[in-house]
Structure 1
């Protein structure tokens, strides 16, 4: 799922870059420029949501790893091997 989400994010970013180039060239008729700008804003919001989701997954994975490390260092007799 992460690969699919990342591919989708990469595709969105690529499209957003192309739209940005079109707007920066300044050759589009105003109606088309507005449509391109609107599509770019939709993509920007979607990319932010994807990045937020990926960031949340990273935070969860980090927390799980820290908990696993803490459990490994815990000895049932109450002593800690690091002390």
Structure 2
């Protein structure tokens, strides 16, 4: 993340790409072989990625619906996942 090509904006990343980058950041920080200034910069990027992932997960959760079944076991409609 130092002297590499500029990183893409977090807002344009898919959930999978954001998680992958976040995992790489965590691994680098856990190894402890990153200079302090770079640690601070990649930690900040990690915070952005975490917030972006949370936002994407919340949006996906809002779209997920569970199927309600009628007495015969046929789909009768849908309702938001967090209700009933």
TM-score by length of 1: 0.65
- Where structure 1 has 5 or more consecutive residues not aligned to the other structure, the ranges are 1-6, 71-83
Higher helix share: 1
Higher strand share: 2
Say whether residues 1:41 and 2:43 are aligned partners. no
Alpha-carbon distance between aligned partners in 2 of 1:18 and 1:29, rounded to the nearest angstrom: 16
TM-score by length of 2: 0.65
Alpha-carbon distance between aligned partners in 2 of 1:35 and 1:18, rounded to the nearest angstrom: 14
- Where structure 2 has 5 or more consecutive residues not aligned to the other structure, the ranges are 1-12, 70-74, 78-84
Match of 2:68 in 1: 66
Asked which structure has the greater CA Rg, the reply is 1
Tell me how large the CA RMSD over aligned residues is: 1.9
